[in-house]
Amino acid sequence: MPAKPDIIWIVATQWRAQASGYAGDVNARTPALDALAANSDTINYAQAVTPHPFGPFARAALLTGVPSPENGVRDYFDALPPTARTVADRLNERGYATGFFGKWGVGERDRSAPLVGDAAARQAVPSGARGGFAHWEGFEGGFLLNDPWWQGPGDEPALQLNGYQSDVICARAEAWWRAEYVATDGPCFAYVSLEAPHPPYAAALPSGVTRLAPESLTLSANVPRGGEAEARARRELSGYYAHIEATDRAIGRLIAALDTAAALSGRPSPLVIFTSVHGDMHGAHGLFRKGWPHEESIRVPLLVRGAPGATAGGRCDDAVSLLDLSVMTEAWSEGREWRCPREQAEISMPSVVALPLQCDRVWSGWRSANAKRIYLGDGTEWVLTET
Domains, the chain: 7-342 (3.40.720.10)
How many CB atoms within 10 Å of residue 108? 15
Q: What angle is formed at CA 289 by the lines to CA 116 and CA 99, rounded to 5 degrees?
A: 60
In the prediction, which pLDDT does 1 show? 42
From the CA atom positions of the chain, what is the Rg in Å?
A: 20
- From residue 37, alpha-carbon distances to 33, 62, 113, 170 in Å are 6, 22, 40, 20
State the pLDDT at residue 202.
Answer: 95
Quote the CA–CA distance of 171 and 179 in Å, as a whole number. Answer: 12
| Res 206: pLDDT | 97
Q: Is pTM, for the whole model, over 0.85?
A: yes
Cα–Cα distance measured from residue 359 to residue 382, given in angstroms and rounded to the nearest whole number:
13
Q: How far apart are CA 274 and CA 292, in angstroms?
A: 22
| pLDDT mean by block of 10 residues, the chain; 387 residues | 85 98 98 96 96 98 98 95 96 97 94 88 93 97 96 93 98 97 92 98 96 98 97 98 98 98 95 98 97 98 90 84 97 93 96 93 96 96 90
pLDDT computed for residue 191 by the predictor: 98
Q: Please tell me the predicted confidence (pLDDT) of residue 2.
A: 52
CB 342 within 8 A of CB 361: no
Q: Which of these, 145, 106, 110, 148, lies nearest to 129 by C-alpha position? A: 106
pLDDT for the residue 111: 85
- State the distance between the two ends of the chain, measured CA to CA, in whole angstroms: 50
Q: Among 137, 143, 134, which residue's Cα sits nearest to residue 124?
A: 137
Helices 55-64 and 325-333 sit at what angle, rounded to 10 degrees?
30
Write the CB contacts of 105 (distance below 8 Å, at least 6 apart in sequence). Answer: 55, 56, 59, 140, 141, 193
Q: pLDDT at position 311, please?
A: 56
Backbone dihedral angles phi then psi of residue 172, each to the nearest 5 degrees: -65, -40
